[in-house]
A and B are shown apart, each in its own frame.
Chain A
Amino acid sequence: MMLIPGQLVSLATFPGVIVHEAAHMWFCKLRNVAVLDVCFFRIGNPAGYVVHEEIKAFNTAFLVSLGPFIINSLLCIFICFPAFLPMRVFGVASILSYFLLWLGISIGMNAFPSSGDGYALYQNAKKAVSSGSILAILSFPLVLLIYLANIGRIFWLDYLYGAAIGLGLPALLL
């Protein structure tokens, strides 16, 4: 088996992939969407997936698509915070801090909805826009952002995002 760079990144940041899929599943459960199949992590493309029933309500589709962005981002901040002060403010490194940073940034890196999530959101928004849903209209630029963010992965935008919210955000807030 030959690993391609994307798979290597997924392997190195596997906790993030697991949290990403778990977040999809959690929002499905929250909105009573049947989950037909789920894979939290595997070596392959995609590295994880959630197969759910077709979603009728756009708000639900929106939440299921963007759930990982919310959950992964919050968890990234939560996990990185105990390592932020020792590492960033006082320059004191420890194995515990390095581990937390790896875990937190791995999870933050996988916050972006995938192209598949973007496509599903686009399809649902197309259907919902005829009913005048403001959220559906707002979703179109969001879909564009999702695609751009996925292109940005080539330039480590996902890593930069993880580091920015894990280490940059607390610096702004404190």
Chain B
Amino acid sequence: MRKVICEKCEGEFQTNETLKVDQKILCGVCAESVLAEKKIPVDHVQRQIDPTICIGCGMDNGDTDLAKLGQLPVCPACNKLFKNRPFPTWIKTALVGIVLLVVFALFWNSRFIRAYYDIRRFNAAMEVGDFERGAAYFISASQRVPENAGIHAYATFYKGLLLINQDKPAEALKLLQSCRGRIQNESDLEDSILRAQIAIAFDNTDYDEFLQLSIQMDQKYKGDPILTGQVASAYACKYAQTQDEQYRIMSMDALDRARTLANSTPELKEYFVEYEQRILHRLHTKEIIDRNEFIKRYPNGWIKEGEEVL
């Protein structure tokens, strides 16, 4: 340990207990009084460091200077510690704990990740118009996250639409009606409910209801050949049921309008050919059969005797 003399009080002090203030070596008490008396820039005040005392553990090396780390004297043991200071065990344990917690949380919440990708696949499928595949993904997302009321409501809506496509309108109607007030696009929902009601009316041979609802739908979306064709279909049913000539005329009139509208695109025109055959078959035979039965009976299309295939 080295000692120095305070230049103000002339007392002897350990070097580490003194400061260099404005180039003068002072003890702590004198330094405080000098600093209180006049303003001295901070960089003119330095703590004195004894080169024989380790700054880490305070080991006294007698009168021999210790090796320096930067400007600071350190003993070999502290030098080793400072250069390779280990992280405390609790820090390492906490880090491992956090990693394990995150891995556990990812596993625990994996259903949300799967649901998220289901919704992305739903969007992709809907973009290419593959409703059935898209709806299946959305329903899967809803099953994975049943807590989300919004997703559940839309999944119910899509389930309803799928059931309509699968010719199960009664089941579809229940689901669709349960969606009222739970989804944002009420207009689409009401249209789908109407579609289900039309299908139910047809299945129940309630052709008055079938006709009334079909007209309602056609008036809402004027210019849609399928909906106008549906009105022709309903009139054809009424004709088949009553043999009232006015229904046949009205059916043919609606069919003419639908055909004109369908001629707007090749796809619609192609689709409408089969639709028209069914209605003409109904008008000609007065027999009401659904699409599946029609395709089963006439896989190559139907023609009135003496005419060519349309």
Contacts and interface: CB of A to CB of B under 8 A. Distances in A.
Contact of A85 (B88, B91, B116): B116
Interface stretch (A87-95, A135-143, A159-167): A87-95
Given A22-B91, A100-B101, A85 B113 contact: yes
A34 B87 contact: no
A173 B218 CA distance: 45
Q: Interface residue tally of chain A, by bracket?
A: 20 to 34
Interface string B94-135: 100010011001101100110110000000000000000000
A54 B87 CA distance: 20
A61 interface: no
B72 A79 contact: no
Interface in A108-131: none
A4 B112 CA distance: 40
B85 A29 contact: yes
B85 A38 contact: yes
Given A36-B55, A38-B85, A53-B69, A78 B102 contact: yes
A2 interface: no
Given A32-B83, A36-B56, A90-B115, A96 B105 contact: yes
Interface of A is mostly: helix
Contacts of B71: 54
B166 interface: no
A103 B69 CA distance: 37
A25 B72 contact: no
Contacts, number: 75
The contact size tier of chain B is 20 to 34
B148 interface: yes
B84 interface: yes
Contacts of B147: 90, 92
Contacts of A25: 85, 87
A70 B191 CA distance: 54
A86 B88 CA distance: 34
Which of B69, B94, B98, B147 lies at the interface centre, i.e. has the most chain A CB atoms within 10 A of its CB? Answer: B98
Contacts of B84: 29
Contacts of A91: 148
Interface in A50-73: 53-54
B112 A96 contact: no
B112 A89 contact: yes
B115 A96 contact: no
Contacts of B69: 34, 36, 53
B112 A86 contact: yes
B226 interface: no
B136 interface: no
Given A34-B83, A90-B115, 8 more contacts: A34-B85, A53-B70, A53-B72, A53-B82, A79-B98, A82-B105, A85-B115, A86-B112
Interface of B: 55-56, 69-72, 79, 82-85, 87-88, 91, 94, 98, 101-102, 105-106, 108-109, 112-113, 115-116, 145, 147-148, 151
